Amino acid sequence: MFELFTRLADWMTYSIMGLEKTTKLADAVHFFIEDTTKIFFLLALMIYIIGFARSYVSPEKVRLWLTGKSRLTGYVLAALLGAITPFCSCSSVPLFIAFLSAGIPLGVTMAFLITSPLVNEVAVVLLGNALGLKFTITYVGTGLVLGIVGGFVIDFFKLDKWVEPYVWQIKMPTPATAEEAEGWAWREKFARGEAIDIIKRVWIYVLIGVGLGAGLHGYVPREWFLEHAGADNIFAVPLAVLIGIPLYSNATGIIPVAEVLMNKGVPVGTILAFIMSIVAISLPELLILRKVLKPQMLLFFVGFLFVAFVGIGYLFNFIFGG
């Protein structure tokens, strides 16, 4: 089915631009055209389809569903809902307070906030396109488990003390959800709106990411990666995670780069750890959450994710490697 995009890239690279087939430039250009056209097509299609499912959930509804649930159900449900519920990162603080004021445990709230940036339909589309179904399922599963375990650990160590005390005092009135139309016409419009909105926001990252990937693809030799990030380099995983922490991008920008890393022989676990570190730990997000969380909690959060990502990296290198 995707041959169409290869042929389109063939035609544009060799016929329209007249590039010589075996040159590095042609290679990079071909990669860029094939990947961007395919990604935009898949994104539009997937977001539109998933948009229908998303029209049934909103953070307000999630808050209702999570209220009064047992902890165990809470972690699992929060992680699952985090994966499909859209919210803008500038809503993190109101959302956080709203969850706590409804009596939802801190760990359950954090499970939601951990999974939300890690697992989303854009990441799923790009991973599926770049690295295949097996890797995508692994990624989604790992992301969910990470949210569940993270939430559990936070409650286990009773880290409520590291939430700014004023947060507990806030009484939130019942969320005033705007009246929404229901029915298929509304859901179709919602799904279409989502597709347009998300593509408008991510297209530039797709171009940058694929551009970067195309450059690496065409110009950096495989030996370089094997030497620095290959399976023999025991420090590659922690290093990849460390490099990923200050780098901030959403999944969109980084996955096309990951695809090239994979093709160049960098092991799966290392790539997984690198992507997760970039996507899940973002300094702007941490600064926003500083308003409700004490520095100790932010340090714990980053520390937990660091250890988890390194563990995941080694684990999957072990499972998929050799």
Interface with other proteins, residue 182, by CB under 8 A: no
Q: Which is nearer to other proteins, 89 or 233 (CB)?
A: 89
Q: Find the binder of other proteins among 38, 63, 217, 264 (CB under 8 A).
A: 63
Query: For residue 61, with 0-12 CB atoms within 10 Å meaning exposed, 13-18 middle and 19 or more buried, which class applies?
Result: middle
Give the whole-angstrom CA distance, residue 292 versus residue 213: 37
Q: Are 156 and 289 in contact (CB under 8 A)?
A: no
Instruction: Report which DSSP code applies to 15.
Output: I
Give the whole-angstrom CA distance, residue 77 versus residue 61: 12
| Phi and psi torsions of 166, nearest 5° | -60, -25
* String of contacts with other proteins for each residue 189-228, x by CB under 8 A: x---x---x-------------------------------
Q: Identify which of 300, 235, 247 has the alpha carbon closest to the alpha carbon of residue 276.
A: 247
Q: Find the binder of other proteins among 98, 144, 154, 266 (CB under 8 A).
A: 98
Q: How many CB atoms lie within 10 A of CB 134?
A: 10
Interface with other proteins, residue 175, by CB under 8 A: yes
Q: Which is nearer to other proteins, 32 or 99 (CB)?
A: 99
Q: Find the binder of other proteins among 172, 204, 283, 319 (CB under 8 A).
A: 172
Give the whole-angstrom CA distance, residue 290 versus residue 282: 12
Give the whole-angstrom CA distance, residue 298 versus residue 296: 5
Q: Find the binder of other proteins among 20, 178, 183, 322 (CB under 8 A).
A: 178
Q: Which is nearer to other proteins, 113 or 261 (CB)?
A: 113
AA identity, residue 236: A
Q: Find the binder of other proteins among 3, 22, 174, 221 (CB under 8 A).
A: 174
Interface with other proteins, residue 176, by CB under 8 A: yes
Interface with other proteins, residue 88, by CB under 8 A: yes
How many residues touch other proteins under the rule CB under 8 A: the total is 30
Interface with other proteins, residue 291, by CB under 8 A: yes
Buried residues in 170-200 as b, exposed as e (16+ CB within 10 A): eeeeeeeeeeeeeeeeebeebbeebbeebee
Q: Which is nearer to other proteins, 226 or 288 (CB)?
A: 288
Q: Which is nearer to other proteins, 198 or 241 (CB)?
A: 198
Give the whole-angstrom CA distance, residue 277 versus residue 314: 14
Instruction: Report which DSSP code applies to 173.
Output: P
Interface with other proteins, residue 73, by CB under 8 A: no
- Which H or E element spans position 274? helix 268-280
Interface with other proteins, residue 95, by CB under 8 A: yes
The residues in 234-253 that bind other proteins, with binding defined as CB under 8 A, are none
Q: Find the binder of other proteins among 87, 203, 248, 320 (CB under 8 A).
A: 87
**3 beta partners:** none
Q: Find the binder of other proteins among 45, 53, 170, 299 (CB under 8 A).
A: 170
Interface with other proteins by CB under 8 A: which residues? Answer: 58-60, 63, 86-91, 93-95, 97-98, 101, 170-178, 189, 193, 197, 288, 291
